[in-house]
C-alpha cells in the first residue's frame, strides 16, 4: 500500500490577525492530479506555501509522506514551481544548463559534483520541454515564457513524487500553454507523479486534472469535475457561474 503524499488536517492560517484559510481538510493520494482553483484572495497560494512550510500554521496539521511537516526531511521527493519571477536581472550569472542542474544537486552534500548521468538527465528534461536549444543561454536574457519552462525543468529534473505548481502558465503563449498542460498530464500518467496545480481557470483544470479543489478561504468543493458539474450544492453556491464553467468545458 502506497504512503499518502499529503494529508492536511484542520489547517488554519492567519495573516495580520485575519484568518485567510479556515479548517482545511485535504487528503491527496498517490497519482492524483488536483487543480486548485478559486477567486483572487481565496488562499490558493497560501495553501501551497503553508503545506511546504513557507508560512506558519495558526493551527492544524500537515503530513507529508507519513511524516509531520516539522519532521519531514526528504524534500527531494517534492518539486515546487512558484508564481513566475516578475523580474530576473539580465546579468544573472547562470545559463539554462546550470539552473536546471541545480535542481539535481542542490540537496546533495559537498562536493556537489555532476555525473555523466546527471548531464544526461538535464539534457533529457530540456528536450522534453522543447528548450534544448537554450541550454547555453543566460537565463536572464530569456523571455518570460522561456524562463518559466526552464524553472519547470528545474522542478522536474530530480523526478519528484509530489509536484506543486503555482499558476505557472501566466507567461506562456497559447501554444506553449497547451504543450505545458499535455506534458504535465503525461508526467502524471506515465511517471505517476502526484500534482497540485494552482490555476485561475477551472475549465482547463476540468479538462486535465483528475480532481478539482475549489477554495474560498475554506474548501468549497473537492472531487471530480463531473461531480462538480452535477452537484446541487455547487449549483446553490455558484448559481449561473457553475453552468458557465461546465458549459465551456463541454
DSSP string of 77-120? GEEEE-SPPS---TT-S-BHHHHHHHHHHTTSPSS-PPPHHHHH
Per the CB < 8 A criterion, the answer to whether 74 and 244 are in contact is no
Longest dimension (CA), the chain: 59
Per the CB < 8 A criterion, the answer to whether 148 and 172 are in contact is yes
Question: What does the block give as the cell for 171?
Answer: 507567461
Which phi and psi (to 5°) does residue 220 adopt?
Answer: -85, -40
Q: Is 210 exposed, middle or buried (0-12, 13-18, 19+ CB in 10 A)?
A: middle
DSSP string of 192-233? --EEEEE-S-HHHHHHH-SEEEEESSSEEEEE-HHHHHH-HH
Mean pLDDT (the chain) is: 87
Strand 18-28 vs strand 33-37: parallel, antiparallel, or unpaired? unpaired
Q: What is the per-residue pLDDT for 84?
A: 61
Distance CA 209, CA 225 (A): 8
Q: What is the per-residue pLDDT for 230?
A: 85
| CA proximity to 52, closest of 89, 13, 94 | 13
Cis peptide before 111 (omega within 30 of 0): yes
Distance CA 202, CA 23 (A): 22
Q: Which of 86-100, 154-168, 225-239 has the lowest mean pLDDT?
A: 86-100
Does residue 249 carry a pLDDT above 60? no
Give the chain's domains with CATH numbers.
6-249 (3.40.50.300)
pLDDT tens for each residue of 116-168:
898 999 999 999 888 999 999 998 888 877 888 888 899 889 889 999 999 88
Question: What does the block give as the cell for 206?
Answer: 476540468
Distance CA 153, CA 128 (A): 9
DSSP string of 227-250? HHHH-HHHHHHHTHHHHHHHHHH-
pLDDT tens for each residue of 170-200:
767 788 788 888 888 988 998 899 999 999 8
pLDDT tens for each residue of 102-118:
888 876 766 677 888 98
Range from 66-70, 100-104, 240-244 that averages highest in pLDDT: 66-70
Amino acid at each position: 500500500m502506497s504512503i499518502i503524499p499529503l494529508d492536511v488536517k484542520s489547517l488554519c492560517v492567519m495573516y495580520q490577525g485575519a484568518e485567510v484559510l479556515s479548517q482545511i481538510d485535504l487528503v491527496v493520494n498517490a497519482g492524483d492530479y488536483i487543480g486548485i482553483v478559486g477567486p483572487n484572495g481565496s488562499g490558493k497560494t497560501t495553501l501551497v506555501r503553508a503545506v511546504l512550510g513557507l508560512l506558519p500554521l495558526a493551527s492544524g496539521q500537515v503530513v507529508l509522506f507519513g511524516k509531520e511537516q516539522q519532521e519531514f526531511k526528504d524534500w527531494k521527493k517534492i518539486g515546487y514551481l512558484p508564481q513566475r519571477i516578475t523580474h530576473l536581472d539580465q546579468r544573472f550569472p547562470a545559463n539554462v544548463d546550470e539552473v536546471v542542474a541545480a535542481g539535481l544537486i542542490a540537496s546533495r552534500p559537498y562536493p556537489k559534483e555532476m555525473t555523466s548521468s546527471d548531464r544526461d538527465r538535464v539534457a533529457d528534461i530540456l528536450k522534453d520541454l522543447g528548450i534544448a536549444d537554450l541550454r547555453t543561454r543566460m537565463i536572464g536574457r530569456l523571455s518570460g515564457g522561456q524562463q518559466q519552462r526552464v524553472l519547470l525543468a528545474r522542478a522536474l529534473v530530480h523526478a519528484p513524487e509530489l509536484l506543486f505548481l503555482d499558476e505557472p502558465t501566466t507567461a506562456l503563449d497559447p501554444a506553449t500553454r497547451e504543450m505545458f498542460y499535455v506534458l504535465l498530464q503525461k508526467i502524471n500518467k506515465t511517471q505517476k507523479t502526484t500534482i497540485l496545480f494552482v490555476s485561475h481557470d477551472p475549465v482547463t483544470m476540468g479538462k486535465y486534472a483528475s480532481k478539482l479543489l475549489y477554495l474560498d478561504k475554506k474548501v468549497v468543493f473537492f472531487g471530480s469535475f463531473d461531480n462538480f458539474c452535477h452537484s446541487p450544492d455547487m449549483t446553490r453556491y455558484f448559481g449561473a457561474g457553475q453552468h458557465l464553467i461546465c458549459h465551456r468545458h463541454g
